[in-house]
Structures are given as structure tokens and as C-alpha cells.
Amino acid sequence: MVRFRSFREYEEHKAEANNAMMALLAGAQLSAHLLRLSEGSERLLPEVFPAVEHIHRFSLKPDRAREILLSADAHLGKMAVPYVLALHEDYMRTCLGLLHANNLCSKASTKGNLVDLHPSFETVTGHVFNEDMKCYMTALRLMRNAVIHNGSTVTEALQDELALWTPQQEKGWLELAKRNPRTLQVGDRIDFGHGEMIAALAITKRLDREANLGLQAKLSRPCWAKMVFDEVFADHPQMVGNPKALRTAKGVARHHYAPLQLTDAELSAELASRN
């Protein structure tokens, strides 16, 4: 991967989201395990754990609190999957923004919704995303929409989309999420859980990297050289106009832009264009 700044920042945000989701899942299970020590108690949690901040908002008996914590997976999933999709949507807009900055697509393309962004990217770059990943992304998007806008119940649009899956696509989804949404009917409840979180992270990761490859093929080499120096001068503004900036740029290009193998001549030409 060409690890340009926006790509690195996006990956950091994804890692933070993943760590936070898994910490909350583990924390819920740890808390439920701890509450087994208070099983049968008639005292409320604020009485049992008075030093815990915000515990008064969870003013329940330990047994009831433990039930809620053991089912936290579904609630966290409904927050986590839309969060992961929102991060991916922002990343795709960033990719199209780079293409727009180089006069390769319209400004309107950079403001599309998730349903539009992958087709727009394909049209501009000629890169065709993996068909299975596109199907899974469409399903995740429709599942998210149903959770947010349809009371967490299956819509006809979602059922129609799932009906198009091939047996191999169905198997691939099961390997990721460990349960099959194709068993659901219109009006059935949609539950996001740990499996769907894992699926969302894996699917977006694959599409993220494919978009990176599409950018590598479409953006010109002078564009990438410009991005290298944009990083150098953003981090070291005192180097503007300093010939030593070339040496720093070579290091950045070697470390973060290695797949492009930018040459010294290409970097020197970009520096000369700025003077």
C-alpha cells in the first residue's frame, strides 16, 4: 500500500474504533463475570460499587445488570457497524477528493453517499472492486439503513439484495459473520453483533486497499511527488526553500510511498517547481 497521510490517518481511526469496540465487548463480559459475585443480592449497584463513576445511571440489582451486560453485544453492534461504515465512507470521499484535486472527477463526486462512492471511483479510475466485497458492502449498507430507519427490521430492498447472493458469496459471508442474514424475512429483526462487526471491518479493509491500488494506477507520478513534499513541509515548515528538504522527502517517499519507487529525479523536479 502507498501509505499517504490520509490513508495512514484513516487506518489509525479504524484501529482506534476496533480497539474501542473490542474493549467494550470485553468490558461488558468482565463486568458480567464480576457481578456473579453479587448474585442474588437485593442491593442496587450504586450501593455495591459507590466509587464507580456514573454508576448511579445503572441503578439496577446485580442480577438484572448482569443480564444486560451479557446481551451488550447486540447493542454495541448497532453502534459499531454504522461507525465503521461512516469511516469508510469518509475515506472514499477522501480518495475521490484526491482525484478531483487533479481534475480527474467532478466536485459533486466527492460529496456522494456510500451508495454512490464505489461506482464513482470505478468510473473515474477504471479499477473494478471485487464483486463479492461490493455485494457485502451493499448488504451492510442496507442492514445499517434498516437498523437506523426501519426499526431494526428487514426491508424489501435488503431481502431482494440478499436473494442475489451466489452460494459462494453466502459461504464467504458466513465465514466472516458466523450467521446468515439470508434466513431473515421482511419484518424480521436485524441484530448486529460481534460477527457483523468483524465482517464490517474485514470488508472495508479489503475495499480500502483496493481503492489505494486504484489511486496508484490513476494519479500521476508528479501528483505523488507533490504529496510527499506536502507532508514534508506540513511537518517541517522551516524547511520550505531549504535544499535539505529533498533528503527528507526521499526518506518519506522510501518509508510511506515505497510501492511507487519515486526517483530522485522526480522528487527533485517537484522541489524545483516550488522554488
pLDDT tens-digit series, residues 115-165: 999 999 999 999 999 999 999 999 999 999 999 999 999 999 999 999 999
CB-based contact 143:161 (threshold 8 Å): no
Which residues fall within 8 angstroms of residue 48, CB to CB, at 6 or more apart? 38, 41, 62
- Mean pLDDT, range 243-267, rounded to an integer: 96
CA distance readout (Å), 158 to 68, 150, 163, 197: 29, 11, 9, 18
Distances (CA, A) of 252 to 7, 88, 108, 203, 238: 14, 25, 32, 29, 17
Per-residue confidence at 83, pLDDT binned at 50, 70, 90? very high
| Chain position carrying cell 445503572 | 58
Residue 10 pLDDT level (bands cut at 50, 70, 90): very high
pLDDT at 260 over 80: yes
Taking the C-alpha atoms of residue 195 and residue 217, their distance in angstroms, rounded to an integer, is 34
pLDDT score recorded for residue 274: 86
Cβ atoms of 113 and 89 within 8 Å: the answer is yes
Q: What share of the chain in percent tops pLDDT 90? A: 92
Cβ pair 180, 195 in contact under 8 A: no
Residue 275 has pLDDT above 80, yes or no: no
